[in-house]
């Protein structure tokens, strides 16, 4: 008979939900705790069915059975719920399973559930790329996303295109353009964002070799609204794809962009407007887009963003998409946030959103699928996720929070603070601690305010990790959330030769006396 405790864990993990940006959640249904009678909901009877799984043969003495999957529970003697099938086939046959293997080549447990922990993998380990401590592989690319709306949406600490620090970023990804849900042409996010396209691409004249790409999509594009299914609908037919391709090539040429980054959040995911056919359609669309870009007569770059979570990443056929891309940009941030309070298996507890241990787990999903690490750029956050803690006497990682922390002076959004805002809190006397296991810093202030983020020290740890794992680069969200601290730190860790800085830039106070590694900091 299967271990009751392990079975309970696996059944709970069978209900998966994803809440928040780019974050994997395994959520146990509340009904999988205990019933009104006090019995665990993996216990069933003639009158009490299973919340999940089949009610197996009843014990003749107690009149009770156990909920489970496979022939032991769903075969001969099954009392109710006998239609349930497992996620994967651990060897009992497809008659009892929804799929023969798990998405992304994760492990199928002996109970028919997909996962990555020891419970599922039973001694199997993932082989990660290893380049050693002397590797400088990720120095090759430093991508910075620039929020085109920052000047209109923030009350202070904004950054004009002319104020973008030059010299260390090899690529600037201008965020965002959208896809028209009816014509499938490239569409402007709004007039403000569109008004700065040419200003950003003009920066190439000040930094030879700099590439400026357009990023299309973003989290909000797949929020409920008219844009929600635009990616899915565009990828659905060759006619809609061609309409997008033709518009995109014209758009890139008109504004002198060097490539396109597609940020579809997320294909297949029903809670994000995705459809099952997205899995295959995305591969077809990307392969045809690569051909269309090549046929344009100019070598345009092509990349896509990836979530660091199994729940959302399983909607990407990364093995078949990879050959058509220049690289993947993996969003190894927002692993935790205020949305955790709605996730039963995590709950309202404060954890770091750039935890290196969890980043490693996310990257292992790529290594399971033999993705070339040189085609992977590690995401770095120039911001922190913040919480208002429930008990001022418990201010460590893992303590309970009641809500997002107060919005920043400039960003104004509860639950998130820019690096510039965090640095001001630290200077004002906030208490800073170092979580060595997670490789993050935490600062607490005002009795019950808490934020985790990467500072100069932990940024280097993550850059070193990217080099050790042979990654092809790093990418930053977002350039305009910095006050100069992070780009100085990032730049000082690079082996790439130093470039000249544009002079006379308003706001950053560059002058000919400043070289890389000593850019002046902006004050809020």
Domain ranges across the chain: 1-124, 137-379+459-492
On the CB side of 506, how many CA atoms lie within 13 Å of its CA? 5
Read off the DSSP letter of residue 294: H
Q: What is the mean pLDDT of residues 313-341?
A: 98
Structure tokens at 284: 């077809």
In this predicted structure, the answer to whether residue 9 has a pLDDT above a threshold of 50 is no
In this predicted structure, the answer to whether residue 30 has a pLDDT above a threshold of 80 is no
Residues in the chain: 524
User: Which residues pair with residue 486 across a beta bridge?
Assistant: none
Confidence at residue 133, expressed as pLDDT on a 0 to 100 scale: 80
Confidence at residue 101, expressed as pLDDT on a 0 to 100 scale: 97
Work out the pLDDT band at 497, boundaries 50, 70, 90.
Answer: low
Structure tokens at 344: 């039963």
Task: Give yes or no for a contact between 137 and 471, defined as CB atoms under 8 angstroms apart.
Answer: yes
Task: Give yes or no for a contact between 224 and 184, defined as CB atoms under 8 angstroms apart.
Answer: no
User: Which residues pair with residue 379 across a beta bridge?
Assistant: 475
Task: Kindly report each contact of residues 156-160 with a partner whose C-beta sits within 8 Å and lies 24 or more positions away, as own/partner.
Answer: 156/409, 156/410, 156/524, 157/409, 157/410, 157/411, 157/418, 157/420, 157/421, 157/483, 157/522, 157/524, 158/410, 158/480, 159/479, 159/480, 159/507, 160/199, 160/506, 160/507
Confidence at residue 40, expressed as pLDDT on a 0 to 100 scale: 64
Residues ≥6 apart with Cβ < 8 Å to 68: 2, 7, 11, 42, 53, 54, 56, 74, 111
Q: Could you tell me what percent of the chain has a pLDDT over 90?
A: 83
Which stretches of 266-375 are assigned E, i.e. beta strand? Answer: 301-307, 327-331
In this predicted structure, the answer to whether residue 163 has a pLDDT above a threshold of 50 is yes
Confidence at residue 215, expressed as pLDDT on a 0 to 100 scale: 99
Q: How far apart are CA 157 and CA 138, in angstroms?
A: 29
Tell me: the pLDDT tens digits for 349-382?
Answer: 999 999 999 999 999 999 999 999 999 999 999 9
Least confident of 34-38, 68-72, 447-451, 478-482: 34-38
Q: What is the mean pLDDT of residues 189-218?
A: 98
In this predicted structure, the answer to whether residue 39 has a pLDDT above a threshold of 60 is no
pTM surpassing 0.95? Answer: no
Which CATH architecture does the domain made up of 137-379+459-492 adopt?
Alpha-Beta Barrel (3.20)
Confidence at residue 416, expressed as pLDDT on a 0 to 100 scale: 98
């Amino acid at each position: 008979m299967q271990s009751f405790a392990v079975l309970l864990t696996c059944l709970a993990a069978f209900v998966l939900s994803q809440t928040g940006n780019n974050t994997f959640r395994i959520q146990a249904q509340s009904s999988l705790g205990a019933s009104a009678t006090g019995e665990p909901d993996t216990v069933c009877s003639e009158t009490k069915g299973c919340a999940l799984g089949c009610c197996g043969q009843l014990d003749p003495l107690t009149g009770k059975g156990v909920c489970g999957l496979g022939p032991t529970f769903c075969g001969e003697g099954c009392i109710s719920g006998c239609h349930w099938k497992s996620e994967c086939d651990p060897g009992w046959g497809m008659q009892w399973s929804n799929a023969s293997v798990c998405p992304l080549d994760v492990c199928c447990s002996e109970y028919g559930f997909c996962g990555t922990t020891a419970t599922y993998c039973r001694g199997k380990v993932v082989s990660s790329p290893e380049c050693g401590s002397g590797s400088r592989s990720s120095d090759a690319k430093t991508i910075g996303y620039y929020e085109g709306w920052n000047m209109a949406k923030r009350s202070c600490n904004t950054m004009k295109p002319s104020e973008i620090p030059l010299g260390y970023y090899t690529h600037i990804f201008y965020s965002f353009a959208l896809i028209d849900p009816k014509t499938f042409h490239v569409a402007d996010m709004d007039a403000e964002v569109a008004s700065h396209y040419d200003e950003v691409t003009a920066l190439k004249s000040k930094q030879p070799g700099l590439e400026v790409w357009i990023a299309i999509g973003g989290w909000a594009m797949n929020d409920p609204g008219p844009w929600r299914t635009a990616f899915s609908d565009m990828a659905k037919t060759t006619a809609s794809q061609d309409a997008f391709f033709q518009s995109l090539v014209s758009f890139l040429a008109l504004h002198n962009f060097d490539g396109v980054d597609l940020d579809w959040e997320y294909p297949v995911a029903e809670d994000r407007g995705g459809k099952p056919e997205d899995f295959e359609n995305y591969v077809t669309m990307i392969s045809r887009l690569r051909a269309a870009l090549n046929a344009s007569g100019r070598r345009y770059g092509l990349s896509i963003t990836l979530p660091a979570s199994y729940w959302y990443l399983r909607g990407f056929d990364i093995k078949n998409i990879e050959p058509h891309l220049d690289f993947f940009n993996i969003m190894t941030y927002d692993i935790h946030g205020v949305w955790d309070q709605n996730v039963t298996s995590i709950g309202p507890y404060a954890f770091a959103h750039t935890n290196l241990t969890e980043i490693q787990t996310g990257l292992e999903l790529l290594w399971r699928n033999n993705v070339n690490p040189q085609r992977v750029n590690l995401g770095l956050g120039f911001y922190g996720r913040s919480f208002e803690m429930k008990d001022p006497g418990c201010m460590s990682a893992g303590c309970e929070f009641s809500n997002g922390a107060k919005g920043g002076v400039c960003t104004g959004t509860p639950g998130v603070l820019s690096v510039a805002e965090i640095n001001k809190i630290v200077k004002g006397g906030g208490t800073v601690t170092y979580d060595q296991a997670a490789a993050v810093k935490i600062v607490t202030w005002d009795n019950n305010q808490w934020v985790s983020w990467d500072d100069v020290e932990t940024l280097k740890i993550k850059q070193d990790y990217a080099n050790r794992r042979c990654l092809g680069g790093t990418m930053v969200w977002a350039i305009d959330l910095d006050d100069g601290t992070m780009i100085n730190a990032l730049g000082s860790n690079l082996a790439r030769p130093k470039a000249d800085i544009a002079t006379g830039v308003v706001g950053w106070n560059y002058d000919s006396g400043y070289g890389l590694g000593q850019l002046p900091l902006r004050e809020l």
